[in-house]
Amino acid sequence: MPLAKISTITGRGLPIPGNDIDTDRIIPARFLKAVTFDGLGEGLFYDARKAVPAGQVHPLDDPRYRGAAILLSGANFGCGSSREHAPQAIQKFGFKAVVAENYAEIFFGNSTTIGLACVSAERSDIARIAAAVETNPAVEITIDLSAREIRFGAEKVPLAMRDSARDALVNGRWDSIGELLDGREAVAATAARLPYLAAPHK
């Protein structure tokens, strides 16, 4: 089955401000005992959501942002341990993309391989998007990987993304295992031509 080509992501935004948001904050370690990734969305920012002072509400629990598809944050997002559960939890919660200044390397790679677009923008530009969202949570945001820009309302700002990751998403090559399985016939044909695979082992 061909992988989806991800060139644009459109939806409402949800700001979670702060720098160095690590994977343990994104999904606490006790949720890693799950056998599958199903249901991980329930643990997204679990401890942070429970620690909100009385009278306040965490953005994930704020009804104004319910159904948001684009998470907005700061620098070095996804740092800490290499758990792939972190991008899985973000995606399982319903997010299709993250906009941050930059990302921890392994988190970025784990996100790309599940089709979760992680794009970068300047701090001032993210602040503009977040301000627009806070003013009007219904504002529509479009991340356009082909045009390399983020549009919101009547405004737009440039985005940055590593070319290899952008190419993989836009051309539907983001899941290397899925791509390999889709090409199993070609793999078998190539293996049959290789003498060291075709020859009987002694």
The pLDDT value recorded for residue 200 is 59
- Return the CATH number at 14: 3.20.19.10
Residue 191 covered by a domain: no
| Confidence band, pLDDT 50/70/90 cuts, at residue 201 | low
pLDDT over 90 at 199, yes or no: no
> What's the domain count of the chain?
1
**pLDDT above 70: percentage of residues in the chain:** 94
**Rg of the chain on CA atoms, in Å:** 19
On whether residue 186 sits in a domain, the answer given is no
- Per the structure, the complete domain to which residue 44 belongs is given by 8-173
Residue type at 164?
Answer: S
40 or 11, greater pLDDT? 11
Q: Parallel, antiparallel, or unpaired for β 70-72 and 13-15?
A: parallel
Question: Rounded to an integer, what distance in angstroms lies between the CA atom of residue 37 and that of residue 83?
Answer: 12
Q: Which residues pair with 100 in a beta bridge?
A: 120
Give 137-175 pLDDT, tens digit per residue: 999 999 999 999 999 999 999 999 999 999 999 999 887
Q: Cβ-count burial of 119 within 10 angstroms (0-12 exposed, 13-18 middle, 19+ buried)?
A: buried
Q: Is residue 185 domain-resident?
A: no
Residue 31 binned pLDDT confidence (cut-offs 50, 70, 90):
confident
